[in-house]
Structure 1
Amino acid sequence: MPENVSLTLPPPMAADPEAIQRALSQKLGHPIDADRFVIARRSIDARKRTIRVNLGIRVYAAGELPTKGLPEFSYRDVRSAPPVVIVGAGPAGLFAALRLVELGFRPVVVERGKPVKERRRDVAALNRRGILDGESNYAYGEGGAGTFSDGKLYTRSRKRGDHRRVLHRFHQHGADPRILSEAHPHIGSNRLPGIVAAMRTTIETHGGEIHFRQKVVDLSVSGGRATGVRLADGHRIEGRAVVLASGHSARDVYEMLMARKIALDAKSFAMGVRVEHPQGLIDRIQYHGQARGDYLPAAAYHLVQQVDGRGVYSFCMCPGGFIVPASTRRDGLVVNGMSFSRRNSPYANAGIVVEIRPGDIPVRDPAGPLAGLNYQRTLEHIACKNGGGGVVAPAQRLADFVNNRSSPRLPACSYPPGVVASSLHEWLPDSLRLRLQAGFKAFDRKMRGFITNDAIVVGVESRTSSPIRIPRDSSTFQHIGMPGLFPCGEGAGYAGGIVSCAVDGERVAAAVAHFLTG
């Protein structure tokens, strides 16, 4: 077994492999060759003015392989294996497909959007010219909503599966090896498309299938169990089971399930705004006024505050990032955040959102479990009306928003389609506005200088999670009323982010294999 050693070093030393080797040898009291240790964990400790880097190092005995005990992947030829239909090629769907190939089943992935290379062109047209393709955008297409995002690969929910398998599988398909050791690993939206395409190649090379531009409009049901899907063009794709990993923006899928009287449950979700600061300001706050220099990353933050019994918190914080248009309909405006691998934009942004429980929705909606979806849609429509047309977003200076003042002029903003001055404090529902304002004030007490008119709030951030859960049995992972249907990932209400979706995809794949083999 390797020996685990902890080191705490100044940032310049932690960036120098030879300095790490010297410090490790000094701590152990004898020389250590460079091929006998690996950095298992790296994190920044900026709680005090003297900033340090904490390293967790595994030291191996002479002749012991550093790869011992690491996840291994063995893909089978599944060309003649039993087919399993997977709806959605996001992280849940892709990782379910990869795991099924390992287990000896043929995944048949059905994706409404386009392959990632073509999808990039549609995203560029949305950013530069405001042209929205309703089936190929930041939410729909190969890789799902995570492809054009920061690519964060950390999760706080580690009891549901082996998150290390997810990181190693990303590394196997081209991700930087640093994701295996960083405390808060990320890939970056400039690198994720190539990794997603490499995963598709693995699936197809071993006999799996991925069908793009194929919108699912119904399930195929035979003998009381789900056996496949019907497409918008009338064709059917059949399998031995159906994994439903369609993501939280596929609202038509929820409506299809409702029409089939397949049980859905309302659950808590969150909505709010996206706030953007100059990255230099966040660096100064988090690094105690010190210059970041060459050895520290763009500073991030994670903020939480209870306000009137509801959580107000930062979501998808993107240091050195950009705000992007995440709309899927022309009559609704949604924003999100992303960053490249180097995180070198001069801006830092994060969603600041308010927890919404089913009972908080102001009008009791006859749609029942779909009430949360309709509430999201209403707020997105209001944001669109208060924007500048197309996907030009409504925005306000942060200090003005907190103090109920209009902003006649706006600071520079990273949002590519542009922003227009709008008094968000006048049209956001009071249940959101008042909690957001109180939350910002609390955040300013934790991070002095957070409230400033050099920062901007942009509306609206409404797709943090699904307001619906598709209920499944906790042991079989099948829908409680439809055998053979396996709800999966964020859209089903069981995950929230790339890693947790991928972990859920692997768990569901194992449950499918167990179902089909008894």
Structure 2
Amino acid sequence: MEIVDNKVASVFSASREYPGDHFVFATGHSAYDTYRMLMKYGGRFRIKNFAIGSRVEHSQILINKAQWGVEQLPGVKAAEYRLTGRSGELPVYTFCMCPGGKIVPAAAFEKTNIVNGMSLYKRNGTFANAAVVAAVNLTNLLKKEIEAEEAMEWVEKLEESFYSFTRGYSAPFCSIRNFMDRKGSTPAPETSYPMGLTEAPLWEMLPPGIAESISASLKDFSGKIKGYETGIIMGLESKTSSPIQAVRENGSRLTGFGNLYMIGEGSGYSGGIISSAVEGVKTAMEIIEKS
């Protein structure tokens, strides 16, 4: 970027320069390289609460029977669920439940190992999956004040540790029952995850406090959905949202700049397609009023 009097005059790609009067950064929540660039130029960020955990997988038929009492309902695609738990130190909840879906690799950077989930339109896959994550405030979890850069580094080191364990992109996994008991081994079952599974003591790989809270809540979930404990839990789910948030003023303008707006999930304010779209509309109106 070219900065003149605290305003962005131009941004540069690998191939050309883009001059302008106003600049809108609508990044995703994994754009750590963009965050760091903006920090270098004086943009301000702070930590925020986010969630981290792993992803569970079950037979979709098991979920259908638990929710409906039968394997299929005419005209209905696949059963879903949403669960919350407060048995441990941290609140735990299921996130982005994918009926009839698949678990996919979701690494944003080299030598990191992360998973996510998706469903196709028909939701007719063999498996159901969902993230099971604990809500985290890093200052409370680590018992010290944390800056934005430190928060990103903490997440990155965790993502890198999962890559180092498997030496690639297979997903560390164990059974939900073993995770709850914090012991035992599990032969690799059939899975939707395309990169393969590596047996692992997942309860030791997740940070203290997070692992214990997820374990306690999995016991609760197993009492709510029959057979829940027979599934598997795998990988690191670290991209529910950004661990940091842009410090903004006068709407969505990034503090430190006179004409740069930080919006979308990467800003740390919106949390999905609809809220990001609303931010885009509001910011466009804000710029029009100033023009």
TM-score, normalised via structure 2 length: 0.94
Q: Which letter maps to 1:323?
A: I
| Superposed counterparts of 1:19-38, under 5 Å | none
The reply to whether residue 390 of structure 1 matches residue 168 of structure 2 is yes
CA distance, structure 2, for counterparts of residue 459 and residue 291 of structure 1 = 28
Residue 363 of structure 1: how far off its partner (Å)? 7.5
Equivalent residues in 2 for 1:52-201 (5 A)? none
SS for the counterpart of 2:159 is helix
Q: Would the aligned equivalents of 2:88 and 2:212 in 1 still touch at CA under 8 Å?
A: no
> Partner letter of residue 283 of structure 1?
N
- 1:249 is the counterpart of 2:30: yes
Q: Distance in 2 between matches of 1:349 and 1:401?
A: 16
Distance 1:358 1:427 in 2: 17
Contact in 1 for aligned 2:92/2:217 (Cα 8 Å): yes
Aligned to 2:256: 481
Choose which of 275, 294, 299 in structure 1 pairs with 2:74: 294
Describe the SS at the equivalent of 1:320: strand
SS of the residue aligned with 2:270? Answer: coil
Equivalent residue number for residue 143 of structure 1: none
Instruction: Tell me the alpha carbon deviations over residues 442-482 of structure 1, each in whole angstroms, 9 at most, x when there is no partner.
Output: 21222232212xx1111100111001111222x53212331
User: Within 5 A, what are the aligned runs for 1:340-351?
Assistant: 340-351=120-131
Unaligned 5+ residue runs, structure 2?
none
| Of 262, 267, 270, the match for 2:43 | 262
1:271 to 36, 52, 67: 52
CA distance in 2, matches of 1:291, 1:222: 64
Q: Deviations over 1:232-261 (max 9, x none)?
A: 45x421111111111111111111122122
Deviations 1:117-153 (A, max 9, x none): xxxxxxxxxxxxxxxxxxxxxxxxxxxxxxxxxxxxx
The reply to whether residue 371 of structure 1 matches residue 146 of structure 2 is no
What is the CA-CA distance between 1:373 and the residue it aligns to?
1.2
Aligned amino acid, residue 347 of structure 1: F
Task: Find the counterpart in structure 2 of residue 460 from structure 1.
Answer: 236
CA change 1:286–1:327 in 2 (3 A) is same
Give 1:390 deviation, angstroms.
Answer: 2.1
Aligned equivalent of 1:381: 160
Query: 1:272, 1:351 within 8 Å by CA — same for their partners in 2?
Result: yes
The CA deviation string for residues 68-105 of structure 1, in whole angstroms up to 9 with x for no partner, is xxxxxxxxxxxxxxxxxxxxxxxxxxxxxxxxxxxxxx
Instruction: Tell me if the contact between 1:227 and 1:484 (Cα under 8 Å) persists in the aligned partners.
Output: no
After TM superposition, the structure 1 = structure 2 runs for residues 391-430 of structure 1, keeping only pairs within 5 Å, are 391-430=169-208
Provide the C-alpha distance between the structure 1 equivalents of 2:56 and 2:125, rounded to a whole number of angstroms: 15
- Is the Cα contact below 8 Å between 1:397 and 1:410 reproduced in 2? no
The superposition leaves residues 354-396 of structure 1 with CA deviations (integer Å, 9 ceiling, x where unpaired) of: 1111313537587x21222112111111111222x32111111
Tell me, yes or no, if structure 1 residue 315 matches structure 2 residue 95: yes
1:332 aligns with 2:108: no
1:334 touches 1:461 (CA, 8 Å); kept in 2?
yes
Once the 2 structures are TM-superposed, how far is the Cα of residue 432 of structure 1 from its aligned partner?
Answer: 1.3
Q: Aligned to 2:228, what secondary structure does the other structure show?
A: coil
**Unaligned 5+ residue runs, structure 1?**
1-218
Contact 1:227–1:242 (Cα < 8 Å) also in 2: no
CA shift, 1:429, in A, is 1.7
Question: Are the counterparts in 2 of residues 470 and 493 from structure 1 also a CA contact under 8 Å?
Answer: yes
Q: In structure 1, what is the Cα distance between the partners aligned to 2:152 and 2:143? A: 13
Which has more radius of gyration?
Answer: 1
Does the CA-based 8 Å contact 1:393-1:458 persist in structure 2?
yes
Q: Counterpart of 1:400 in structure 2: which amino acid?
A: N
C-alpha RMSD of the superposition: 1.8
Task: Look up the SS of the partner of 1:322 in the other structure.
Answer: strand
- 3-state SS in 1 of match to 2:267: coil
Shift of 1:437: 0.3
* Aligned residue pairs, count: 291
User: How big is each residue's C-alpha offset from its partner over 1:399-426, in whole Å with a ceiling of 9 and x where there is no partner?
Assistant: 1111112324022110011111111123
* Cα pair distance change 1:303/1:329, threshold 3 Å: same
Deviations 1:143-200 (A, max 9, x none): xxxxxxxxxxxxxxxxxxxxxxxxxxxxxxxxxxxxxxxxxxxxxxxxxxxxxxxxxx
1:221 corresponding residue in structure 2: 3
Whether contact under 8 Å (1:476, 1:515) holds in the other structure is no
1:503 aligned partner: 278
Alignment partner of 1:285 is 2:63: no
Structure 1 equivalent of residue 13 of structure 2: 231
CA shift, 1:223, in A, is 3.3
Q: Match of 2:13, as an amino acid?
A: L
Distance in 1, Cα, partners of 2:40 & 2:5: 19
TM-score w.r.t. the length of structure 1 is 0.54
Other structure's SS at 2:265 match: coil
Asked whether the equivalents of residues 89 and 213 of structure 2 are also in contact (C-alpha less than 8 Å), the reply is: no
Q: Is the 8 A contact 1:228 1:241 kept in 2?
A: no
Report if aligned partners of 1:365, 1:371 keep a CA contact under 8 Å in 2: no
The one-letter amino acid of 1:479's match is L
Structure with the bigger RCO (C-alpha within 8 Å, sep 6+) is 2
Aligned to 1:439: 217
- Distance in 2 (CA, whole Å) between partners of 1:363 and 1:385 is 26
* Distance in 2, Cα, partners of 1:227 & 1:299: 52
Give the conservation status (yes or no) of the 8 Å contact 1:324–1:338. yes
